[in-house]
């Protein structure tokens, strides 16, 4: 049990899916990104995914690539992600970090886990690190009581589904579409299947990410998933001009969505 599972279970007790919001640290600048994360919490996100920007984000589409590049140009550091984690925790949501592997390796697996824990973070989502590739990370996270959140995809085999769900803590991150982050007209037919397969493989909590950008989609996905993860739509709403009210309106739309789903 962790702060993350407690929060997801509390949402479940309310009869709804959790809303998980992603934002990159430092976009459009550090101060605005911290304010934006507070807006996420105020407008209804239960969990906030803090993204330290990375120079080579292979699982991200054009919007998040753009945001990461702008953040890096602005001089944001991995240290700032832990500041953001603290800000989210103080605002009352559960913070997790979504990080590409090299940023974690360079800081050191143990130090990354310890710094996260100290900042009040609950877990780490690793888009380019699978459990079989990262026994060192799993050990470090377990030792620091940090949840390891791994991804599953429509292409995930039965064997790998068991491996991944077994190594995941907090929740399993299901990507219902093959592809990079970004908005889609539909979250795809595979979504219920991937969630069902993850549950069959032992996952107690499954959140859906990649492709969700509207309240209607959140409502649809929230019927069978424990959480709805939204990134690109929030980044786009925030924009280069850092419009916090536009962001707040978008978050409210999604927050209403998860509340009308069931």
> Considering beta carbons, is residue 93 or 180 the nearer one to another protein?
180
Q: Is 256 a catalytic residue?
A: no
Q: What residues contact residue 120 under an 8 Å CB cut-off, 6+ apart? A: 85, 86, 88, 89, 90, 95
Binding segment (CB under 8 A) for another protein, from list 26-34, 117-125, 128-136, 196-204: 128-136
Binding flag, residue 148, another protein (CB under 8 A): no
Which among 42, 56, 60, 115 is annotated as catalytic?
A: 60
Q: How far is the CB of 174 from another protein (least distance, A)?
A: 10
> Considering beta carbons, is residue 6 or 136 the nearer one to another protein?
136
String marking each residue 63-82 x if it binds another protein according to CB under 8 A: --x---x--x----xx----
Binding flag, residue 175, another protein (CB under 8 A): yes
Q: Listing from the earlier edge strand, what are the strands of the sheet with 151-152?
A: 147-149, 123-125, 94-98, 47-51, 18-24, 227-230, 206-208, 172-174, 151-152
Q: Is 31 a catalytic residue?
A: no
Coil vs helix vs strand at 57: coil
DSSP 90-112: HHTSEEEEE--HHHHHHH-HHHH
Is the separation of the CB atoms in 211 and 161 below 8 Å? no
> Considering beta carbons, is residue 154 or 192 the nearer one to another protein?
154
- Distance between CA atoms of residues 83 and 154, nearest Å: 34
Stated length of the chain: 262
Binding flag, residue 156, another protein (CB under 8 A): yes
DSSP 35-49: HHHHHHHHTT-SEEE
Binding segment (CB under 8 A) for another protein, from list 33-41, 113-121, 172-180, 184-192: 172-180
Which among 46, 49, 80, 115 is annotated as catalytic?
A: 49
Binding flag, residue 107, another protein (CB under 8 A): yes
Is the separation of the CB atoms in 141 and 127 below 8 Å? no
Interaction site with another protein (CB under 8 A): 54-59, 61-62, 65, 69, 72, 77-78, 101-107, 127-130, 133, 150-157, 160, 164, 175, 178-180
Residues recognised as catalytic: 49, 60
């Amino acid at each position: 049990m962790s702060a993350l599972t407690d929060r997801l279970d509390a949402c479940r007790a309310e009869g709804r899916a959790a809303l998980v919001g992603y934002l990159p640290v430092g976009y459009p600048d550090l101060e605005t990104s911290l304010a934006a994360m507070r807006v996420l919490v105020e407008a209804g996100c239960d969990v906030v995914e803090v993204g330290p920007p990375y120079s080579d984000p292979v699982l991200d589409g054009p919007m998040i690539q753009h945001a990461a590049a702008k953040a890096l140009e602005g001089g944001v550091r991995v240290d700032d992600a832990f500041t953001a984690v603290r800000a989210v925790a103080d605002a009352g949501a559960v913070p997790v970090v979504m990080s590409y592997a090299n940023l974690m390796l360079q800081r050191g697996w143990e130090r990354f886990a310890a710094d996260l824990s100290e900042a009040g973070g609950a877990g780490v989502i690793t888009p380019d690190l699978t459990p079989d590739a990262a026994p060192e990370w799993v050990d470090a996270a377990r030792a620091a009581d940090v949840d390891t959140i791994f991804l599953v995809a429509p292409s995930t085999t039965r064997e790998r589904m068991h491996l991944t769900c077994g190594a995941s803590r907090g929740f399993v991150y299901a990507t219902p579409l093959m592809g990079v982050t970004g908005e889609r007209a539909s979250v795809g037919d595979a979504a219920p299947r991937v969630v069902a397969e993850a549950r069959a493989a032992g996952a107690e909590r499954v959140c859906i990410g990649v492709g969700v950008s509207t309240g209607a989609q959140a409502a649809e996905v929230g019927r069978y998933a424990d959480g709805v993860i939204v990134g690109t739509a929030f980044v786009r709403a925030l924009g280069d001009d850092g419009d916090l009210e536009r962001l707040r309106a978008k978050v409210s739309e999604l927050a209403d969505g998860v509340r009308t789903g069931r």
